[in-house]
């Protein structure tokens, strides 16, 4: 561990900063882990794109299709390749989300043992309960007692409910609860920022809303989805550029750059099949020269017609073709 439990919040305030992207997990044609491709992506994202940290093993990374040993292996690859945010490498936040509590704790202990910066844990699926607050509070409290590593909560409609700002603020008092990925309507995360922004780092996955959240709410971390490596290339780092201007207080300059990304956003969103977000992202990565590969069941791969539509939109969005930065690492 790089810090004691009592230091977790201060460590996060100092190092959970900037742009943190959620990694897809590349698989080989035979659906085995593509370790070389994953390492190449990690290096490209941090070295060429300037991404500050990587969220590993989440829904973008298809954790639900991987064995426990594969999940641990992916954790180890990420920490080995990136190091730590505190030592000048890319930061790591490793997703231990699972419906089995023993699995969550085992993964969190493994992340702590190998030197990850943080872990993230999705709220449990409790859609069959009429009320969840005490259950969810005890869930996070119990997990936090088992480890010292800083924990980010994650509330998303996938759980069948949304954690209220008041519940999140209560959980924020736990010493090693350091952040939340709060996939909720804006009024909810604004309220949580007011209630607990001094105790935890609040963020949401929307790149469209990131600039406003820096300028209006004083947010310090984008945590996290895939736009940081899908909307940028080594020669075109507009998300980084507008973020740096916003952090420096140049709201007008940041807004001007942010607006130029609208054709990229529109091309990406318009071509994403509703049931195939991971396959869509992986193909877009391949168009940028990154490792993508197939998805594992139960997810579905793209049809050839879908690929043709995505390629056409990609070529016209102004982002460019094969990314020489990614190819350089290949």
pLDDT 10s digits, 283-321: 999 999 999 999 999 999 999 999 999 999 999 999 964
Is 49 a domain residue?
A: yes
Is 301 a domain residue?
A: no
- Matching residue, tokens 């500050």: 52
Is 315 a domain residue?
A: no
CATH number at residue 39: 3.20.20.70
Domain range holding 44?
Answer: 5-238
pLDDT beneath 50, residues of the chain: 321-330
pLDDT of residue 131: 79
Is 138 a domain residue?
A: yes
pLDDT 10s digits, 7-56: 999 999 999 999 999 999 999 999 999 999 999 999 999 999 999 999 99
Alpha carbon distance 148, 265 (integer Å)? 38
Is 195 a domain residue?
A: yes
pLDDT of residue 1: 79
pLDDT of residue 320: 64
Is 102 a domain residue?
A: yes
pTM: 0.95
pLDDT of residue 234: 95
pLDDT of residue 206: 96
Classify residue 58 by its DSSP letter. S
Give burial (CB, 10 Å; 0-12/13-18/19+) of 198: exposed
pLDDT of residue 328: 35
Alpha carbon distance 279, 70 (integer Å)? 20
Is 31 a domain residue?
A: yes
Query: How many domains does the chain contain in total?
Result: 1
| Closest by CA position to 209, among listed 244, 183, 232 | 183
Is 91 a domain residue?
A: yes
């Amino acid at each position: 561990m790089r810090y004691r439990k009592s230091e977790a919040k201060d460590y996060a305030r100092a190092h959970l900063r900037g742009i943190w992207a959620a990694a897809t997990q590349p698989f080989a044609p035979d659906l085995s882990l593509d370790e070389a491709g994953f390492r190449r992506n990690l290096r490209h994202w941090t070295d060429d794109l300037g991404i500050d940290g990587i969220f590993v093993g989440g829904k973008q990374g298809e954790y639900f299709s991987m064995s426990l040993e594969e999940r641990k292996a992916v954790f180890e690859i990420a920490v080995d390749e990136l190091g730590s945010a505190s030592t000048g490498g890319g930061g790591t936040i490793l997703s231990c989300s699972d419906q089995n509590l023993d699995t969550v704790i085992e993964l969190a202990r493994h992340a702590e043992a190998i030197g990850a910066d943080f872990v993230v844990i999705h709220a449990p699926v409790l859609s069959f309960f009429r009320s969840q607050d005490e259950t969810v509070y005890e869930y996070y409290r119990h997990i936090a007692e088992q480890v010292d590593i800083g924990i980010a909560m994650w509330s998303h409609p996938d759980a069948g409910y949304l954690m209220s700002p008041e519940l999140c603020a209560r959980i924020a008092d736990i010493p090693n609860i350091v952040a939340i990925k709060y996939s909720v309507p804006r009024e909810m995360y604004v309220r949580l920022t007011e209630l607990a922004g001094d105790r935890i780092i609040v963020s949401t996955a929307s790149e469209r809303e990131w600039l406003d959240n820096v300028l209006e709410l004083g947010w310090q971390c984008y945590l996290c989805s895939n736009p940081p490596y899908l909307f940028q290339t080594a020669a075109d780092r507009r998300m980084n550029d507008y973020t740096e201007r916003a952090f420096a207080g140049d709201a007008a300059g940041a807004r001007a750059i942010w607006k130029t990304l609208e054709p990229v956003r529109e091309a990406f969103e318009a071509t994403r099949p509703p049931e195939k977000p991971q396959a869509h992202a992986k193909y877009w990565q391949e168009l940028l020269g990154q490792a993508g590969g197939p998805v594992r069941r139960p997810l579905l791969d793209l049809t050839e017609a879908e690929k043709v539509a995505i390629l056409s939109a990609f070529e016209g969005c102004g982002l460019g073709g094969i990314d020489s930065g990614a190819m350089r690492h290949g």
